[in-house]
């Protein structure tokens, strides 16, 4: 999941919900202009029962830049929705093992 969340910066510079209409943009530029480095930290917790598996993923984003808390929260939510890995894990994908 880290690579997906780590690409949040690029995704949000082009994401339709991230840009505000021109009439509402501050004179200094839009939100994407004020977005700094985005770092992701992912930790997992193993299940205590069988079968052996990771039961919980904890993802923490650090978002640098001149953005308010609501914008940073929207980036976090969008990152979760955009991420192929987290979307796959939420969907309980089928797994097929074969010998080759």
The residues spanned by each domain of the chain are: 2-90
* Confidence category of residue 33, pLDDT binned at 50, 70, 90: confident
What's the CATH architecture for 2-90? 2-Layer Sandwich (3.30)
Percent helix, strand and coil across the chain, each to the nearest 5: 40, 25, 35
Residue predicted with more confidence, 44 or 10: 44
Q: Which of 89, 67, 90, 91 is nearest to 8 (CA)?
A: 67
> How far is it, in rounded angstroms, from Cα 70 to Cα 89?
26
> How far is it, in rounded angstroms, from Cα 9 to Cα 38?
6
Tell me the percentage of the chain whose pLDDT exceeds 90. Answer: 57
What is the per-residue pLDDT across 50-73, written as a single tens digit (0 to 9) for each? 999 999 999 999 999 999 999 999
Ramachandran angles phi, psi of 95, nearest 5°: -125, 130
Ramachandran angles phi, psi of 64, nearest 5°: -90, 155
């Amino acid at each position: 999941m880290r690579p997906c969340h780590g690409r949040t910066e690029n995704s949000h510079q082009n994401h339709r919900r991230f840009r505000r209409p021109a009439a509402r943009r501050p004179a200094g530029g839009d939100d994407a202009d004020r977005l700094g480095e985005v770092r992701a930290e992912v930790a997992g917790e193993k299940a205590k029962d069988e079968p052996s598996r990771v039961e919980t993923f904890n993802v923490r984003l650090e978002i640098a830049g001149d953005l308010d808390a609501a914008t940073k929260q929207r980036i976090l939510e969008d990152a979760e929705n955009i991420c192929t890995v987290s979307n796959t894990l939420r969907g309980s994908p089928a797994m097929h093992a074969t010998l080759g």
